[in-house]
Structure 1
Amino acid sequence: MFCGKKIEVHTVNTPLPSALIPREMLVDFTQASKLIEHAQAQARSLIEQTQAQCERVVEDAREHFWQRANPILQRWESERQAMHEGLEQVATSVINTAIRGFLDETVPPQRISALLNQLLAAQLPPVSATLLCHPQDREAVEQWLARRGDVPWTPRVDNEVSAQSLLLETEDGGLHINWVDALDHLIPPPLK
């Protein structure tokens, strides 16, 4: 009844099929995964901290730069403004000097003509009046009145009136004009 059989077990020289994963390997894998996740979390945290620190450094550098740059820029603006004002004053002075020099070279008859034009412009419409002038200006006054036949002014020579001055007397009063005052009113004399 009982028969004895013998089963031979051969030693397998080939490795176990790879479909079977040992438990130790699974434990190692789980630990490695947790370690990688932890390392990635630390790396993200370090990156965020570093970015925040970089932003602070950049902001501090920007603030430091503007703290140093603003006074320099303000000084430059002040210098530019002062230079602009100085340039404007110099240009005005040069132009005024040139105009004054040009007007100083104007011959007396042209000066009288300019003064008469100003008197006429100040008295619109022209009314009957007596025009007093210096004897040396009589000819220029008469020529101007002849050219302007519609002006009802009567010329009269008066030695009391200075040269290149005119006095227009009306019933309501008088208008006085002279070359030097007109020139000073038009172009202020240069400061000394």
Structure 2
Amino acid sequence: IFFRSAMALQLPSELWDIIADSVQSDSLAHVCRRLWDLLGSSRYVKLNCDSHCVTQRVRPLARNVRALQVKVKGPWDPTGAIDALQHAPFLHTLTLSNMAADVTVGSARAMAAIRTAPSLHTLTLNLGRNALGTDGAGALAALKDAGGLRTLSLDLWGCAVGDSGAAALAQLKDAPALRTLTLELWGNAVGN
């Protein structure tokens, strides 16, 4: 078997890194201890967390994570987790879900800070049924300054963003690299 031979250990580290990314799992990291140490773990992660443990679960992943999905239960201050993720060198895809959880304008500002993540190209925020209002929508509109963001999806149904919040969010279309923008704004008294 290839993986049990010394030949596998002679492949360059860069090749193993590419292999691990191409299969989008950490299964190759379980082949041998050297490979585990080389590639690290937790490149493609899905977390379901209570709000009190999100930062402690996310922070150790930031060094090596490529794609992260986080579903948070309950009111949550995302500042600590976003602080870690905005410096994650390889993070290219992020999905954050915190629906019906009293997300505040301050939380929206903290989430928008992810725009500085160096490799981020795909972002999904599922924040429906939160009272973000116009100010929260304006805070999220700062994502237009994300230089490498190519795909952005914001699910803000039932967040009371109103007409001026929707207008602020419409400015997201001006993000420099953006190719796909999805805004879910039903139930927001837009255009009434």
TM-score bracket relative to the smaller structure: under 0.3
Structure showing the higher strand proportion among its residues? 2
TM (norm. structure 1) is 0.22
More helix by share: 1
Higher relative contact order (CA 8 A, sep 6+): 1
